Amino acid sequence: MTSETVTNHQEKAYALLKADADKILKLIKVQMDHLTMPQCPLYEEVLDTQMFGLSREIDFAVRLGLVEEAMGKEILGELERELSALHEAFTKNNK
């Protein structure tokens, strides 16, 4: 493959991972806006499944050399910070 083709695949891979992360972020934001109980089993299951799936996608892209490991960790870290903020907001709101 040419260098240009590899770069194009890397950019596409990152864009797809970021789009999937944005979908998860939207789920988190909806919950944040409504402060729906984060311990709701359905909520937890959906987010856990989505986060796990994204982590597997990132791992696959890293193993293919399409995404740097640090970039993948950054994407997941951002979502984990948002989840923490949701849990904190819910806890403060329900004291």
Domain that holds residue 88: 3-93
Count of structural domains within the chain: 1
Give the pLDDT score at 72.
Answer: 95
Higher pLDDT, 48 or 95: 48
Give the pLDDT score at 60.
Answer: 97
In tens, the pLDDT along 1-59 reads 788 888 899 999 999 999 999 999 998 888 777 765 555 666 777 888 999 999 999 99
CA–CA gap between residue 39 and residue 86 (Å, rounded): 11
pTM beyond cutoff 0.75: yes
Lowest mean pLDDT among 2-6, 54-58, 78-82, 89-93: 89-93
The 10 Å CB-count burial string (b at 16+, else e) for 62-92 is beeebbeeebbeebbeebeebbeebeeebee
Query: What CATH number corresponds to the domain at position 45?
Result: 1.10.287.750
DSSP string, 1-40: --HHHHHHHHHHHHHHHHHHHHHHHHHHHHHHHHT--TT-
